[in-house]
Amino acid sequence: MVETGKLSIFLAFAISIYVVCASVYGAKTGKSDFVKSARNGVLAVCFLLIIATAALVHSLVNLDFSLKYVALNTSTDLPVIYRITSLWAGQAGSLLLWALILSIYSALVVLDTRTRSRLLMPYVVAVLAAITVFFTFLIGFVENPFEALPAAALEGRGLNPILQNAYMAIHPVTLYLGFVGVSVPFAFAVGALLSGQLGDEWIKYSRKWTLFAWTFLSVGLLLGARWAYLELGWGGYWAWDPVENAAFMPWLAATAFVHSVMIQEKKGMLKKWNMALIILTFFLAIFGTFITRSGIISSVHSFAQSDIGPLFLGFIAFILLFSFSMFLYRIRDLESENRFDSILSRESAFIFNNLLFLGAAFAVFLGTVFPIMSEALTGDKILVGSPYFNRVNVPIALVLIFLMGVGPLISWRKASRENLMKNFLVPVVVGAAAAGALIALGVRDVYALLSYALCAFVTGTVFTEFFRGVSVRSRRGENPALAFVRLVSRNKRRYGGYIVHIGVVLIVVGITSSSVFVTEKQATLTKGQSLELAGYTLTFQGIEQYTTDAKNATVAKLEGYKNGKPIGIVSPEKNVYLYEGNREINQETEVALRSTFTDDLYVILMSYGEDGAATIRVMVNPMVSWIWSGGVVLVIGAIVTMWPGGRKEREEVFVRYTLHDRDRTAKV
Amino acid sequence: METILALAIALLAALFISAPFFLRRGRAGGEEYFPDPRAEKAKELGSRKDSLLTAIKDIEFDYGLGKLSREDFEELHGKYRAEAAGLLKEMDSMGSGNPADGWDDDIEKEIRAERSKFAFSYDDEELEKEILRAREVAWNDSPGRYCPKCGNGSGAEDHFCSKCGAKLGQPTETQNARPL
Amino acid sequence: MLKGKLKFIIAIAVIALAVSYLVYGGVKDTMVYYLTVKELKSKVPSVYGERVRVSGNVVPGSIKHGPDGSLMFSIADDGGDIDVAYSGIVPDIFKDDVEAVVEGEYGSDNVFAADVLLAKCPTKYEDAEALYQTGSEGKGVNAY
């Protein structure tokens, strides 16, 4: 299988080059055979990369230690499921995964647009193929997953234990689905620039791919946070680590883009802005991949940790130069059809939304590359700490939450006083009431109050929207439940978007509570001693040890009570993995976590002594589960926005409307 | 054994990619690729019409929810309606070529094919009905006249249709006539 | 119309200024030099009391656990070694010979009082030969 895998990669590389040439040639000369052939080439590349991936998985599962990649990432005691997920544990494998996902997206785009936009699509296909050329080049000639060792290793190094859990198994894939997915709207945009089809076509046809990629970026970020929370054992879920930021920046830009395209669709404005924004989003996605893969930011002194660093930089420079020069070339054709009328309008709310998201992305970018920049400029490597990121992003986030509430209710073009009063009365009251109630309960932290009040405000606006929508329909005689279902299904994007906003609100509430109201205590306990924190009481029962095939475990048993009620035994662990191959990480701390609607009890076994005493650290994190639940709501909302169908009803409306109109005219 | 498999894969790929050059399927040569500008124009008009439909529905909805003031609503509504009428007229005038061409059908087939890609079933009959009704709107708004035989637009003073030569009756008659 | 546009420009400028202010203030207040042990020692005594981040390899045998969960160890590179005192969560990967990163202040008693401790896998290069001997080689995820 190895030879087949190797050949498939080389073929994929060669065919991708062909696709770029044939697609462009066919489009320029009008020879549809070339265009068709290129499209077939895209499908062939997808097929080939599936074969290559299957070959690698086959080698991983069968522990073919003659391959460097297999020897580095697996071991004989590794369970089969993790042999499969080790596909993306290392450099070469994850690059193959990137290429595979890109080729699948490309194939789906080709199949989806068989009869559409014949002037635009050949260029879109060419751009997607060009990106594929880069990645297949990397895996074919620089970091080949099928590279052989001079002699087969006797045993593999094994997979890092912290990667051996469900979250880390799927988090990279979801994140890649997001990162790679951004290539599609980017390809449509550059395709539009190349073909001259600068109307709304590229936005309309790339819309579902944009939403899909955005959803997976969000899911990937949340899964990464949950993994960090469960496995890294410091009680938090986000550290503003360069690798975390690498995924966050494209998410910020993509969120801005998802909103600003609505303005172009509805009012024909922001054409230049949207073009530039999607190019920026793609740049951030590739840059994020680069940061994660090349290790350039993590070390004390930056030198590329592998050969792919400079290649990535070259690729990034090329796409930026190429895209922006095409953009400037077409700039006169990207004039807007409309003007802005007033600062108090939905258009301007969207624009401020975009500016803030980009401001946040800029701040995170600056903080992330600061060490590299400072070293390049001054010779000293200077970091900015995680407080920097919070200081900058929290105020921005608060204003964004405010806009999230204002945007849907404020009218287009120009909001009048009566419109403002009528629409915002209830939500503002809800927000103020929430603030008042919290102050009465003793909350004094300004940021927390603002955050909760604004979240209540947004919730108020969303409920108002749903309520009004349902009542408008019920007035026409529909029963409310049916009205609700029909309301959402006929305006999927709008109401799906509102559901996403509710998800965001839940996440923000969770983040606010767990950041502001977290409590922590550390103590060394002997048998029978207790530790109390935030209503919880933990009584130390003693240390126990047990052995499994993989590890020697040491457990501290604590009997837990919450507000007097027993919650069972809480058992944080410290494990030593038996297998020699995992020598870098053979010790692992397993956090004991008890999650409820109101808070999480998070217990870490710091150390234990021969005298039978144990040092434990306890944290109570309020409302962390809201973050994960909010994520689920967000995904549901996103799925609603992407759900197909619903065109027929629109035609009906028009027909009915026209008839109505006809009647009126007839009377005259 | 594996070499054979690998070669087979390479061969398959090569065949698949070169297939379009050999399977012409009755199309005239490989040269005519540039889609017919008229068909493209019809598609573009159709897509603009869809956007207008959405826009009209959205502002009706927003108005119902109280997000739009009456005057803004009427202004936008009128604007969209006028644009829709103009679009339909344009679509219509394109549809009326030489009837023998079956050009009308071609465009409708294209539009139908387009729509079927959007994953919902569009009833032929409904399409006819809708075009009919849309034409009525256009006619009622326009000052000109339409040929009862081929639907071609003509000036108010014409006695014969400039396209198909059919006799045009009195202005008052043809204004309410429904061709087809 | 011009008046409307002016309001816009002002609003955009306000946002840009506010973000810049936050960024500037944030950087100024949280910036931390990232030094090697060698560099740290070369900056003595001016570096005493300043918050810095230092990276070095954990000297084998230097790790001592205190009774209350505190930790003493030394990190070194080709410029020498320094003593570190830390109490807090210890990363699982922390042991002899790993690359450790500490953040805190270097006291005039020449003990580094750290409140942040991170540890990384030893090297990042994938060395095939070392692998062959199942050495402690290769990349992994940065485990903090």
A452: pLDDT strictly greater than 60: yes
Chains B and A touch (3+ CB pairs under 8 A): yes
Tens-place pLDDT, residues A208-267 = 899 999 999 999 999 989 988 987 778 889 988 888 899 999 999 999 999 999 888 877
Residue A86 has what DSSP assignment? G
A361: pLDDT strictly greater than 90: yes
Domain ranges, residue B180: 143-180
The reply to whether the predicted model has a pTM over 0.90 is no
Mean per-residue pLDDT of chain A: 86
* pLDDT for position C123: 45
Annotate chain C with DSSP letters as a single string: -HHHHHHHHHHHHHHHHHHHHHHHHHHHHHEEEEEEHHHHHHTTTTTTTSEEEEEEEEPTT--EE-TTSEEEEEEEETTEEEEEEEESPPPTT-STT-EEEEEEEE-TTSEEEEEEEEEE-S--S--HHHHHTT-S-S------
> Cβ of A411 and B68 within 8 Å?
yes
A546: pLDDT strictly greater than 90: no
B165 touches chain A (CB under 8 A): no
Identify whether residues B119 and B150 lie together within a single domain. no
Identify whether residues B79 and B51 lie together within a single domain. yes
* pLDDT for position A386: 84
Cβ within 8 Å of A, C 28-47: 29-36
Identify whether residues B77 and B93 lie together within a single domain. yes
B137: pLDDT strictly greater than 70: no
Identify whether residues B106 and B82 lie together within a single domain. no
A98: pLDDT strictly greater than 90: yes
Q: A75: distance to nearest CA of chain C, Å?
A: 11
Residue B168 within any structural domain of the chain: yes
A583 chain-C contacts, CB cut-off 8 A: 136
Q: Which of the residue ranges A15-19, A630-634, B113-117 would you say has the lowest mean pLDDT?
A: B113-117
> Cβ of A412 and B133 within 8 Å?
no
Question: Higher model confidence: residue A489 or residue A636?
Answer: A636
* pLDDT for position A354: 94
A243 chain-C contacts, CB cut-off 8 A: 142
C35 chain-A contacts, CB cut-off 8 A: 300, 381
Residue B31 within any structural domain of the chain: no
Q: Which of A176-190, B161-175, C55-69 has the highest mean pLDDT?
A: A176-190
Tens-place pLDDT, residues C68-123 = 778 899 999 888 889 999 988 888 778 888 888 899 999 888 899 998 888 876 54
C128 touches chain A (CB under 8 A): yes
Instruction: Count, in order, helices (H) and strands (E) of chain A.
Output: 20, 11
Q: CA of A389: how far to CAs of A145, A360, A446, in Å?
A: 37, 9, 18
A30 chain-B contacts, CB cut-off 8 A: 31-34
Residue spans of the domains in chain A: they are 2-342, 414-516+628-659, 519-625
Which of C30, C38, C39, C123 to mutate to probe the A interface, most A CBs <10 Å? C30
Residue B89 within any structural domain of the chain: yes
* pLDDT for position C131: 45
Q: A343: distance to nearest CA of chain C, Å?
A: 6
* pLDDT for position B173: 33
> Cβ of C26 and A387 within 8 Å?
yes
Measured between alpha carbons, how far is B89 from C62 in angstroms, rounded to an integer?
A: 87
Q: B137: distance to nearest CA of chain A, Å?
A: 7
Residue B50 within any structural domain of the chain: yes
A545: pLDDT strictly greater than 60: yes
Chains contacting A (3 or more CB pairs within 8 Å): B, C
Tens-place pLDDT, residues A595-615 = 999 999 999 888 888 788 888
A3 touches chain C (CB under 8 A): no
Q: Which H or E run includes A384?
A: strand A381-384
Q: Which of the residue ranges A8-12, A52-56, A168-172, B154-158 would you say has the lowest mean pLDDT?
A: B154-158
A581 touches chain C (CB under 8 A): yes
Q: Which H or E run includes A394?
A: helix A386-409
Helical H runs in A410-541? 417-441, 446-475, 480-490, 492-516
Q: What are phi and psi of A152, to 5 degrees?
A: -60, 135
> Cβ of C19 and A363 within 8 Å?
yes
C36 chain-A contacts, CB cut-off 8 A: 300-301
Q: Which of the residue ranges A145-149, A292-296, B116-120 would you say has the lowest mean pLDDT?
A: B116-120
Q: For chain B, how many structural domains are there in total?
A: 3
Identify whether residues B137 and B150 lie together within a single domain. no
Identify whether residues B46 and B90 lie together within a single domain. yes
Identify whether residues B130 and B170 lie together within a single domain. no
Tens-place pLDDT, residues A258-280 = 999 988 887 778 889 999 999 99
Closest chain A residue by Cα to residue C36: A300
| Cβ pair A571, A593 in contact under 8 A | no
* pLDDT for position C6: 82
Identify whether residues B126 and B178 lie together within a single domain. no
Tens-place pLDDT, residues A152-198 = 888 887 777 777 778 778 888 999 999 999 999 999 999 999 998 88
Burial of B40 (0-12, 13-18, 19+ CB in 10 A): middle
Domains of chain C by range and CATH? 32-125 (2.40.50.140)
Question: Higher model confidence: residue C94 or residue B154?
Answer: C94
> Cβ of C142 and A243 within 8 Å?
yes
Percentage of chain A lying above the pLDDT 90 cut: 47
Helical H runs in A517-645? 624-642
Tens-place pLDDT, residues A421-443 = 888 888 999 999 999 999 998 88
Cβ within 8 Å of A, C 71-100: 89-90, 92-93, 95, 98
Residue B11 within any structural domain of the chain: no
Closest chain A residue by Cα to residue C102: A300
C134 chain-A contacts, CB cut-off 8 A: 153-155, 157, 580-581
Identify whether residues B47 and B86 lie together within a single domain. yes
Closest chain A residue by Cα to residue C9: A343
A356 touches chain C (CB under 8 A): yes
Residue B3 within any structural domain of the chain: no
Percentage of chain C lying above the pLDDT 70 cut: 79
Identify whether residues B60 and B85 lie together within a single domain. yes
Q: Which H or E run includes B21?
A: helix B2-22
Residue B6 within any structural domain of the chain: no
Identify whether residues B158 and B178 lie together within a single domain. yes
Topology given in CATH for the domain delimited by A519-625 = Tick-borne Encephalitis virus Glycoprotein; domain 1 (2.60.98)
> Cβ of A587 and C92 within 8 Å?
yes
In this structure, the number of other CB atoms found within 10 A of the CB of residue A113 comes to 18
Cβ within 8 Å of A, B 51-90: 51, 53-58, 60-62, 64-69, 72, 81
